[in-house]
Amino acid sequence: MISNKILLTSSGSYLPNNIYSNDALSEFIDTSDEWISKRSGIKNRHFVSKNETTSDLALYAALKAIENSTLDKDDINLIIVATTTPDNTFPSTATMVQKKLDIKGAAFDIQAVCAGFVFALSVAKSLMKDNNYKNCLVIGADSMSKLLDWKDRSTAVLFGDGAGAVILENKENIDNKLDDWGILSNVIHSDGEYYDLLKTNGGVSTDQKIGFIEMAGKEIFKHAVEKLSLSFQEALKLSYKNIKQIDWLIPHQANQRILLAVADRLKIDPVKVISTVMHHGNTSAASIPLALDYAINNNKVINGNLIGFQAIGGGLSWGASVVRYGKP
Ligand code: ACO
């Protein structure tokens, strides 16, 4: 029997036009470029304009990913949007993207906060294999600016808005030619014991509000370094690869100090770690596909490269993937 492989063949991304530098923020909250840069590596973030929604960001990223592929939009029959900031409480943002793209198939959202993209990849791979979806858009899109409490400078300076998308293609592995291509491994984990470390202080069934972000920064930092390192080692093992074979590590872009600490633990050269956090801050589920698209557009990631994804977010939820990008 011929098995199928799920290839990651294209990407696209979108950042809204309004750019706020650290200096711009320090005009209305008590902070400084020096504090933000030193603690997080962030220099700028992009915020949605008044009438721009998460599905708009997702749509623009998706259109770019389709344009960069060999597919037509009607070839796509599965859309998964990882988001924490949907347009409406329901229906899913994915169905709004489907409507805007004017295509058919299945569409739904995934909520794993900053880990949403790796969760979505994992779910997409399983669904495509089990139900034979042909082509899938996996989108990470968030408008985190809507959840910021400008009275809390320790969180407000860290986040931004944006979207990234990838296209997954379901291909028959004839003569085992695709054995070493596409999504080679996925691991996802959650531990609700840490629910309170990073959350909004409100919600639909709690107080009918959306709430603002609350974070225990120092604890999150420690969990991030430990869990990102361990889960990536797990993903490597599952894919029968070792760290030396990884061409590019593309972590969730939350904080440059976390990226460097994880690189150190994994013993990977920091030049192989894609970092875009300075340009857009923490864009939650959007950050990995944004960084991937940046790396492809800047001729870092090329067809056939072995890449690693890793992310952690509220829940806590975290995970990692090893992927051979492109197609033979
Ligand atoms: N500007 C200036 N000063 C500030 C700011 C700010 N924006 N925010 C806090 N401070 C002050 C604090 O009030 C405190 O002052 P004090 O010593 O007079 O009380 C001082 O800076 C130090 O505050 P700490 O909270 O101890 O700062 P820390 O060194 O822990 O850095 C940070 C805070 C950047 C949040 C850090 O803990 C961190 O990076 N945590 C990881 C969090 C993260 O990346 N989360 C993203 C979401 S989860 C994820 O995606 C992985």
Instruction: Give the closest residue to 197 by CA, choosing from 279, 100, 293, 314.
Output: 314
Q: Which residue among the candidates 22, 46, 114, 186 is catalytic per the annotation? A: 114
Instruction: Give the closest residue to 92 by CA, choosing from 77, 100, 101, 81.
Output: 81
Say which CATH class 182-324 falls into. alpha beta
CA of 39 to the centre of ligand 1 (A): 7
pTM of the predicted structure, to 2 decimals: 0.96
Q: How far apart are CA 259 and CA 249, in angstroms?
A: 10
- Per-residue pLDDT 10s for the chain (328 aa) are 678 999 999 999 999 999 999 999 999 999 999 999 999 999 999 999 999 999 999 999 999 999 999 999 999 999 999 999 999 999 999 999 999 999 999 999 999 999 999 999 999 999 999 888 999 999 999 999 999 999 999 999 999 999 999 999 999 999 999 999 999 999 999 999 999 999 999 999 999 999 999 999 999 999 999 999 999 999 999 999 999 999 999 999 999 999 999 999 999 999 999 999 999 999 999 999 999 999 999 999 999 999 999 999 999 999 999 999 999 9
282 annotated active-site: yes
Query: 108, 140 in Cβ contact below 8 A?
Result: no
Number of CB atoms found within 10 A of residue 273's CB:
20
Task: Provide the CATH number for the domain formed by 4-176 in this structure.
Answer: 3.40.47.10
- The CATH 3.40.47.10 portion of the chain extends over 4-176, 182-324
Phi and psi at residue 4, to the nearest 5°: -110, 155
Number of CB atoms found within 10 A of residue 49's CB:
10
Token look-up 């969730």 returns 252
Instruction: Give the closest residue to 120 by CA, choosing from 294, 296, 314, 288.
Output: 288
Which ligand 1 atom lies nearest to the CA of residue 155? 35
CA of 7 to the centre of ligand 1 (A): 39
